Amino acid sequence: MVASARAVGRLLRQRGPALLLYAAAVVLVPMGLGAFGDRERLRDTGAGSPSTTSESARERTDVAPRLRALSGIWWRYETGGRGERVRFYYFHGDGTGLYRYGRIGLTNTHGFDYDVVGDRLVLDFRKTGEHYEVPFVVSHGRDLGEDRDWLELRDDPREHGSTRYFRESDAIVEPSVGASSRSSSETGSQAGAPTGPPPAGHMWIDLVPYATGGRGFALYQLRPAGIDGRGVGWFHRGDFDDWSTEALAYRITGNRLELDFSLAGEHASTTFAVRSDAQGRRWLELGDDPRDFWHPHRYVDMGPSFGAALAPFELDSALGLR
């Protein structure tokens, strides 16, 4: 049965552009979630499954029930403010997941494949190849009228000994959810909605293939700016198996971009230009990129920021609350 989940993981990693969009969405599984009253709207519809042969489809159907039983975010700690600890496991319900840890404002994320074999949670971390078979117990408190379920890992590979995590919803992240179901006033990213001066309201990525295999990225993700050119966002760096996420606030004034990295307490300023070619492709040029040791850096426009469109997974980064 473990092999079946690994096969699903291989299929997901072979999805090319579709996987890129999925990865761009899951980086938004938050360092801390904002008000999350809408998350019951998000349900697993299978939209993330790749188109494959009927044999592979039967395989996914076979593993789906036990994998989806864990879907959602399992939190280690209660709600905290900026700089407080955050750790969680996220299970996408399809044999893929994330482990995120750090403090609100600066986190690191590890991708993994998983399976459930009897009373064991099988975890294969993608970057390192670490393999664990962890005894676990799920207590379904929400079936009894409580506000959360509990997951106990009796030999937690990311903690010491036995650890408990709570889940308030089995909602999953889908990049297609949000923009189509909410008004432009809610998302701030619908067609025609103001996003502020460029580069506000967009994701800007530098995606680099590695000679050793795989791809790495640096990504500025900026939510729409207000009338004064101010907004919030995140800087992500790593690859789609292992990356860091850093909260920031920004201000656009003329051709200058000011950046405040909240947890680091760092203020930076750089000149910038947004350019495009005859084919309509756009890129952002930073004169002194503070996340590339003040070296000039070019980022390609990846489209509207999921931070505005992927409701309800919208961070209140300025406050650092979930």
∠ at Cα 307 (306, 312), nearest 5°? 100
Give residue 33's pLDDT: 31
Does 29 have pLDDT greater than 70?
no
| Average pLDDT value for residue range 140-164 | 92
Does 188 have pLDDT greater than 70?
no
List the structure tokens of 124: 């294969």
Query: pTM, whole model, 2 decimals?
Result: 0.71
Distance between CA atoms of residues 11 and 7, nearest Å: 6
| Average pLDDT value for residue range 248-272 | 96
Percentage of the chain beyond pLDDT 70 is 69
Residue 312: asked if its preceding bond is cis (omega within 30°), the reply is yes
Asked whether the beta carbons of 104 and 82 are under 8 A apart, the reply is yes
Distance between CA atoms of residues 137 and 158, nearest Å: 17
Q: Which residue has the higher pLDDT, 161 or 186?
A: 161
91 phi, psi to nearest 5 deg: -115, 125
Which residues are 138's β-sheet partners? 151
**20-24, 27-31, 145-149 — most confident range:** 145-149
Q: Which of 120, 68, 130 is nearest to 99 (CA)?
A: 130
Query: How many CA atoms lie less than 13 Å away from 93 in the CB half-sphere?
Result: 21
Would you place residue 39 in the very low, low, confident or very high pLDDT band (cuts 50, 70, 90)? very low
Does 157 have pLDDT greater than 80?
yes
Does 38 have pLDDT greater than 70?
no
Distance between CA atoms of residues 290 and 179, nearest Å: 31
| Average pLDDT value for residue range 4-27 | 44
Give residue 196's pLDDT: 83
Residue type, 51: S
Give residue 25's pLDDT: 52
From residue 178, alpha-carbon distances to 174, 235, 313 in Å are 9, 22, 9
> Model confidence over 58-103: pLDDT tens digits?
444 455 788 999 999 999 998 777 888 999 999 999 999 999 999 9
61 phi, psi to nearest 5 deg: -60, -35
Does 6 have pLDDT greater than 80?
no
Q: Which of 98, 81, 89 is nearest to 150 (CA)?
A: 89
Cβ of 16: how many Cβ atoms within 10 Å? 9
Give residue 213's pLDDT: 86
List the structure tokens of 99: 């482990």
3-class secondary structure per residue, 107-119: EEEEEEEEEEECC
Q: Which of 123, 147, 105 is nearest to 67 (CA)?
A: 123
Q: Which residue has the higher pLDDT, 173 or 157?
A: 157
Asked whether the beta carbons of 175 and 22 are under 8 A apart, the reply is yes
Does 266 have pLDDT greater than 70?
yes
86 phi, psi to nearest 5 deg: -140, 130
Give residue 111's pLDDT: 92
The contacts of residue 280 (CB under 8 Å, 6+ apart) are none
Query: How many CA atoms lie less than 13 Å away from 114 in the CB half-sphere?
Result: 25
Give residue 242's pLDDT: 92
Does 57 have pLDDT greater than 70?
no
Does 144 have pLDDT greater than 60?
yes
Q: Which residue has the higher pLDDT, 155 or 177?
A: 155
Give residue 192's pLDDT: 52
Does 184 have pLDDT greater than 70?
no
Give residue 175's pLDDT: 54
Distance between CA atoms of residues 207 and 110, nearest Å: 18
Secondary-structure breakdown of the chain: helix, strand, coil percentages, each rounded to the nearest 5: 15, 40, 45
Q: Which of 86, 83, 89, 90 is nearest to 102 (CA)?
A: 86
